[in-house]
């Protein structure tokens, strides 16, 4: 009668099968079929595969063909004169395959792969990336430098150059594409341009009935008619329609203004609209897929129906593109008539309880933290 079979994976017998180690050479916690490369976890043989521990051949081991004839009952003292087992090495100290006989495989003599502890070399950055990282020594367009200095927006600077109001070392600048490393020697209307001061950001509660512009050809009031006289020269970030009220950001940095306005930067703007008509929450949720109105494609809009007052609906909308009259055109496309529109936030900056017509400055620390989160402008 055959003895009952033990549970577990089958064990091969005969030449090449795994052997159960014995004697004083047995390492604690190291069992047959456990590979050091797998952290000592059991590793079972597949059909036709030999399981080899990842420690290399023993110098006193007999050839594989003679293992079945090895005397397993010889005393332990017979190994007293045997050479000592070489110290165990990590898998990272030798190339893969050394445990299967390095002499038989020439590629096993390759130098070991580096573990990453040596010095790392940094690729040479693109000049444009280097300029974005430190901003020093790289020539830039004079229109960009003047906008960065807070003289005016880029478009306004380009118009000033066309009018011959900008000079460089006494000579009139003819093109806004002139490359300069600094504003040294540059003057506007005969006044030398100082080095750009640190960026400043202001929150302004724009009232309804004024334009987001420096001047109006027909004499309508602008936001600059409502700003305090002690403010530095500031430019608006984005625009609000004449009849739109709420949060308007003002900055002294033209480059920061452009970065905030670009859709690729992804800065969210939130509005509250009071609109006349009927609308459902499902219709507003469909705006998240974007839509096209009169040939203009609008991106995802997050909209929620807040409350109803009669036939007026209060709707909150958050978007990242800020195209011209986007909120009004989208709601009109849905059959609503907007009769009041308030911007309540721009990025992390909120209107809160700032009184109409008042200005509050963002601290340098808060501004620096926010600018670190901005995506690179394309």
pLDDT tens digits for range 159-173: 999 999 999 988 999
Looking at residues 41-50, what average pLDDT do you find?
48
Looking at residues 10-15, what average pLDDT do you find?
49
pLDDT tens digits for range 93-110: 443 443 333 344 443 444
Cα torsion 345, 351, 356, 360: sign: negative
pTM: 0.56
Q: How far apart are CA 336 and CA 339, in angstroms?
A: 9
Q: How far apart are CA 42 and CA 18, in angstroms?
A: 13
Distances (CA, A) of 183 to 145, 160, 180, 253: 7, 16, 7, 15
Q: How far apart are CA 267 and CA 259, in angstroms?
A: 9
- For residues 331 and 273, is the Cβ–Cβ distance under 8 A? yes
Predicted pLDDT at 258: 85
Predicted pLDDT at 368: 92
Average pLDDT along the chain: 74
Paired strand residues for 152: none
Does 189 participate in catalysis according to the annotation? no
Residue 203: φ, ψ to 5°: -105, 130
Please enumerate in sequence order all residues whose Cβ is within 8 A of that of 298, keeping only pairs 6 or more positions apart, or say none: 290, 291, 292, 319, 321, 323, 326, 330
Structure tokens at 194: 């100082």
DSSP letter at 98 equals G
Looking at residues 67-93, what average pLDDT do you find?
48
The DSSP secondary structure of 279-347, one letter per residue, reads --HHHHHGGGG-EEETTEEE---EEEEEEEETTEEEEEEEESS--TTHHHHHHHHTT-EEEEEEEEEET
Catalytic residue among 35, 91, 241, 286: 241
């Amino acid at each position: 009668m055959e003895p009952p079979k033990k549970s577990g994976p089958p064990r091969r017998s005969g030449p090449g099968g795994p052997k159960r180690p014995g004697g004083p050479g047995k390492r604690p916690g190291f069992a047959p079929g456990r590979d050091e490369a797998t952290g000592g976890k059991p590793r079972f043989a597949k059909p036709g595969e030999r399981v080899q521990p990842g420690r290399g051949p023993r110098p006193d081991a007999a050839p594989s063909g003679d293992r079945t004839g090895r005397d397993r009952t010889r005393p332990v003292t017979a190994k007293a004169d045997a050479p000592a087992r070489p110290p165990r090495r990590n898998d990272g100290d030798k190339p893969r395959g050394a445990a299967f006989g390095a002499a038989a495989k020439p590629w096993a003599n390759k130098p070991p792969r580096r573990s990453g502890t040596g010095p790392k070399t940094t690729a040479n950055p693109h000049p444009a990336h280097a300029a974005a990282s430190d901003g020093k020594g790289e020539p830039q367009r004079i229109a960009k430098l003047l906008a960065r200095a807070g003289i005016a927006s880029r478009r306004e600077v380009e118009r000033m150059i066309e009018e011959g109001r900008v000079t460089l070392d006494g000579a009139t600048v003819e093109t806004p594409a002139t490359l300069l490393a600094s504003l040294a020697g540059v003057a506007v209307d005969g006044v030398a341009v100082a080095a750009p001061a640190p960026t400043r950001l202001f929150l302004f509660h724009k009232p309804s009935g004024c334009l987001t512009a420096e001047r109006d050809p027909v004499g309508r009031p602008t936001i600059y008619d409502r700003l305090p006289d002690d403010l530095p020269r500031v430019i608006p970030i984005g625009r609000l329609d004449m009849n739109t009220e709420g949060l308007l950001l003002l900055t002294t940095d033209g480059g920061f203004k452009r970065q905030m306005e670009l859709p690729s930067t992804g800065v969210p703007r939130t509005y509250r609209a009071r609109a006349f008509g009927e609308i459902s929450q499902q219709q507003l949720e469909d705006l998240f897929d974007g839509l096209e109105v009169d040939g203009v494609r609008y991106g995802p809009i997050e909209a929620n129906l807040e409350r109803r007052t009669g036939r007026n609906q209060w709707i909150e909308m958050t978007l990242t593109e800020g195209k011209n009259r986007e909120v009004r055109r989208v709601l009109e496309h849905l059959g609503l008539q907007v009769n009041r529109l308030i911007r309540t936030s721009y990025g992390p900056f909120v209107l809160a309880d700032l009184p109409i017509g008042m200005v509050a400055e963002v601290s340098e620390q808060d501004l620096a933290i926010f600018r670190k989160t901005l995506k690179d402008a394309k």
